[in-house]
Structure 1
Amino acid sequence: MVAPKRLDAWLEDPFLGRLYHAIRVAGPIRSIALDLTDVCNLRCAGCYFFADGMDEKVPTANLDAFVAREAERGTNFVTVVGGEPSLALERLKVLYDAFRLSVATNGLRRIPRDGFEDLPIGVSVWGDEQTDRELRGSGRTDVFARALRNYAGDERAFWYYALTAGAAGHPHEVDGVVQRCIDNGNRVLFNFYGDVEDLGGEFDHRRGFGPAREAIERAIERHPESILMTSRLAEVVSTGRLFAERWGHAACASITPDHPANRNRVRNGRPFDRHFRAYNADLETTRRCCTAIDRDCDSCFDTWQHFSWVMMNPRAHFNSKHDFTAWLTTTWLFYFINRLVDVDEGARLLPEVHRRTRAPELAHTQPPENPPWTPNLTSSWTAPACSAPSR
């Protein structure tokens, strides 16, 4: 455990203190993930939802009863996915009225502002209009163009941009796609495509994501106010490495603890979230983790799950101020993306997050004049409950 004096010293940095204070005020996250429905109006190439048979679980449970049970259990945050949530707005509204939410959508149907005023909406995109049409719209539907129209100027929405591997995986499109998203009034979070159906070629994650990371670096350099992923987080997700630890089932923190498939995982001493559950669309059965029934974890490059991996491992980041900054900014980004901290203040802090989390030799450059964060905080600090590891 890091010495309290060292942590206090790091948090005398006004910027780090500001991020830490914002997380503490927002409070701990006690989260679940669930599939809202078993249907979708797209069949994206290699979608894990259909590849792993998650659509076989149809909604049957009483949603109100489910909400009551989870509220009693202490749940306060829900990630809503599967198949397509915009096709089940009445059910989405029940959840929105009960919990803080984040929802993933393909963007074909707009989630209205009325009734969902503060809902974080992650809108999928896989490339420019032609690429998105081929990979997600079966060569017929202009998914990206329609989603741009649906969420133009909508501050609730951010783009969840999935990048494929290797030089053949469309990294040359990133600059243009990111610019379109920003011009549309939205920010961008990156994801990485795992080839769960062995499509091969440009989809094969074993080719590596080096060109994709280079494109992300360019996006951060050009648009630090609009990119919701740091260089460090992009490296962790795309390489599956967090210091000496390798990504996989033995390390993933977003597991359903009482699921039979995790019997050995919960005993291996690695951190995990004891509250978390990943519910199928029937809201009665659970699965191993967020994105898998029995999928090979080597194909998982899901940014959401890797956020959790970093957040649940604060101790691994206590060797230096630079490592601690990487942990703190990742945790804060998750809160900011999900509108759990002040959004207007977060928008002002985001460029400095990127400045602090670039290569170590760049992390200590002269800070800007009149920084948009509060001056020195003098409280006594302990690790935020949201990321305290369970063992």
Structure 2
Amino acid sequence: MNAQIESHQQRKLAIAERLPVLLAGAPDLAQRFKAVREFSSQIRASEYHLTNACNIRCKGCWFFEFGHDKTSTEAKDLADWEQFTIDQSYQGINCALLIGGEPTLFADRIGAFAETMQYVSISTNGLKPFPNRDPFRNVTVFISLFGGGPLDDQLRAIKPSGTAFTGLFETTLKNYHNDPRATFVFAATEDGIEYIEPTVKRIRDNGNVVTFNFYSKYNTGHPLRMKNERRLLEEMQRVRNEYPETVLNHPSHIEAIVTGKTWCGTFGHDVCPSISQDHPGNAARQANGNPTLPLFNAYKADLKTLEICCTSGRCSDCRDSQAVYSWLMVSLSKSLDSIETLTTWVEVAESYWRQFIWSPYHHSAKNKPDQRELNLAGIHIERNSRPLSHFPA
């Protein structure tokens, strides 16, 4: 615990001393920094498995690959879910990421969160449409997509019985046509490099946006050892530059999910912040002094048991896009070497929040941060200033 406290104090001191110096000569960046940090400071998030059930069986789905559906008994009574969301809110959580299984199978449970918490997102396979009415209008919908092109059906269009079907991506496009809530999470793979641009174009033409993920081949033994890493990275970056209004990732985020490395270091268990704070298996990780997400926990569908982290717990195989984003966002103290690295941090934070319909950085937002109206006098960072709540520096 002493190491953790000492590291936190060192980060605060570095930010307090270095940040005002960098921002003093960059008023435009100072405005942007203040806006994104102020919004981030409002968010306190946790993750919830809404159900153990799913209507398909994707290859490479960590939830079923590692038997997470068999490790807890799912809560069935809606009243229990409603009380649970209230209890979570009382603990200070105002942001829920709902995963599964498949959350859209239980819209009433999603409604319990949407009625209680201000910021709600779901992760879906897209097969089932999600109601676009109150209280769901302000719920972000993350839609999984594996490989692109014909690979998506090969990897995802599999019924629980094991029977394959076709047209999953086409069904998803129809279900979420011009839906501002929808962000496709496109897990790119070296086996589908030629499908990246055509898939992004279809998403754009459907009136949606996309964020790249990385497809981890959990069942291969060496999921992150690729033969075509450089080609995959270059194509993802090229497509991102070609479709900047459709692809939301920052280039540094793409680099990090493909290679595991970027300006602030190397991603891995020792730095990943998306761990359950109350899980005893994370004691050593928390004690190493690297920042974590305060109050964050990942709950199984029994509303009691904690997952060790936001995904599989198989850290050597993980390059989850949202976990990597969280790591980059908590790395402010490692982003103060120059105005260039600080600019990168601000841009990454802005791109992260572009994913969420309830964010002022979303393309549909009516109240985007007005840089001209921000008060530059408030940019000075005091030594006792409040850290970011969801993404502490």
In structure 2, distance between residues paired with 1:80 and 1:270: 26
What letter corresponds to residue 72 of structure 1 in structure 2? Y
The verdict on how the C-alpha distance between 1:78 and 1:249 changes in structure 2, with shifts beyond 3 A counting, is same
Residue number in structure 1 paired with 2:181: 156
Q: Secondary structure of the residue that 1:101 maps to in structure 2?
A: strand
Residues in 2 aligned to 1:346 and 1:221: alpha-carbon distance in whole angstroms: 23
Kindly indicate whether the alpha-carbon contact (under 8 Å) linking 1:164 and 1:205 is maintained by their aligned counterparts in 2: no
Distance in structure 1 (CA, Å) of the matches to 2:114 and 2:391: 26
> Structure 1: which 5+ residue stretches go unaligned?
350-371
In structure 2, the residue matched to 1:31 is: 45
The one of 64, 72, 84 equivalent to 2:90 is 72
> Where does structure 2 lack aligned partners over 5 or more consecutive residues?
1-13, 159-163
Contact 1:45 1:135 in 2 (8 A): yes
Relative to the length of structure 2, the TM-score reads 0.85
Distance 1:135 1:388 in 2: 33
User: 1:136/1:344 Cα in 2 relative to 1: closer, same or farther (>3 Å)?
Assistant: closer
Structure 2 distance, partners of 1:333, 1:347, is: 17
Residue 300 of structure 1 is matched in structure 2 by: 318
* Structure 2 counterparts to residues 224-243 of structure 1, below 5 A: 224-243=244-263
Map Cα deviations across residues 276-320 of structure 1 (whole Å, 9 max, x no partner). Answer: 001111110001101024x2x121010000111011111000111
Once residues 251 and 165 of structure 2 are traced to their aligned partners in structure 1, the CA distance between those partners, rounded to angstroms, is 35
Checking the alignment, whether the CA contact within 8 Å between 1:271 and 1:389 is kept in structure 2 is yes
Normalised to the residue count of structure 1, the TM-score between the two structures is 0.85
> Which residue does the alignment assign to 1:186?
208
Structure-2 separation of matches of 1:346 and 1:230: 19
Partner Cα separation in structure 1 for residue 197 and residue 59 of structure 2: 23
How far 1:242 moved relative to its partner?
3.9
Which residue of structure 2 aligns with residue 222 of structure 1?
242
- 1:36-86 Cα offsets, whole Å, 9 max, x none, are 010111111121001121111232271122112211110011111110011
User: In 2, distance between residues paired with 1:234 and 1:255?
Assistant: 22
Residue correspondence of structure 1 range 194-343 to structure 2 within 5 A: 194-198=216-220, 204-207=223-226, 209-243=229-263, 245-293=265-313, 295=314, 297-338=315-356, 339-343=358-362
Number of residue pairs matched? Answer: 360
Q: Check 1:11–1:282 CA distance in 2 against 1; reply closer, same or farther (3 A cut).
A: farther
Superposed CA RMSD = 2.5
**Tell me, what secondary structure is at the counterpart of 2:27?**
coil
Deviation at 1:258, TM superposition (A): 2.3
Change (3 A) 1:292 1:332: same
1:334 CA drift (Å): 2.3
Between 1:3-12 and 1:73-82, the stretch displaced more is 3-12
One-letter code aligned to 2:47: A
Q: Deviations over 1:100-155 (max 9, x none)?
A: 11111111011111121111111111244422111111341311000000011111
Contact 1:33–1:278 under 8 Å retained in 2: yes
In structure 1, distance between residues paired with 2:296 and 2:312: 14
> CA separation of 1:233/1:16 partners in 2, compared to 1, >3 Å: closer, same or farther?
farther
Tell me: CA distance 1:16–1:83, structure 2 relative to 1, closer, same or farther (3 Å). Answer: farther
Structure 1 pair 171–259 and aligned structure 2 pair: CA distance change class (3 A): same
CA contact (8 A) 2:360 2:366 kept: no
| Structure 1 segment 63-212 matched on structure 2, within 5 A | 63-99=81-117, 100-115=119-134, 116-138=136-158, 139-165=164-190, 169-198=191-220, 204-207=223-226, 209-212=229-232
Choose 125-134 or 135-144, whichever is displaced more.
Answer: 125-134
